[in-house]
């Protein structure tokens, strides 16, 4: 399996786990708490697999950048959290940074 597939799985698992944190109500709700623990376990395991060929800085930049954007969107959709204009600008800059790393940097492995 491609290391970018493992990275995508790591991102999705981390986003699910982070989104479930609110539903876990400080780990007082069993099912969301289990989702948090399993999600982070899968996320870190798959992230570790990507580090076989993708440099740690690049993998982490993609993982955290995509996670921030997706968790912000889920917070908006599921929890009604609003983003002001500056938050949207910041998220846009994160997306631009990840794109620059992947499309222009010679540090990224393709």
Domain ranges of the chain: 3-103
Print burial letters for 61-72: b (CB count within 10 Å at least 16), e (below 16). Answer: bbbebbbbbbbb
Q: Which has the higher per-residue pLDDT, 106 or 12?
A: 12
3-state secondary structure of 27: coil
Residues 32-88 pLDDT 10s: 999 999 999 999 999 999 999 888 988 988 999 999 999 999 999 988 999 999 999
For the segment 10-23, the average pLDDT, to the nearest whole number, is 95
Q: Give the torsion sign (CA, 11, 64, 92, 99).
A: negative
pTM for this prediction: 0.85
Share of the chain above pLDDT 90, in %: 71
Q: Give the torsion sign (CA, 65, 68, 70, 73).
A: negative
């Amino acid at each position: 399996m491609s290391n970018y597939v493992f990275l995508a799985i790591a991102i999705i698992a981390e986003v699910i786990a982070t989104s479930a944190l609110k539903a876990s109500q400080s780990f007082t709700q069993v099912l969301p708490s289990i989702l948090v623990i399993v999600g982070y376990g899968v996320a870190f395991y798959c992230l570790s697999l990507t580090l076989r060929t993708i440099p740690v800085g690049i993998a982490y930049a993609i993982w955290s950048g995509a996670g921030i954007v997706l968790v912000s969107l889920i917070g908006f959709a599921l929890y009604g959290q609003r983003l002001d204009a500056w938050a949207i600008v910041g998220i846009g800059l994160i997306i631009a940074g990840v794109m620059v790393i992947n499309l222009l940097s010679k540090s990224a492995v393709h």
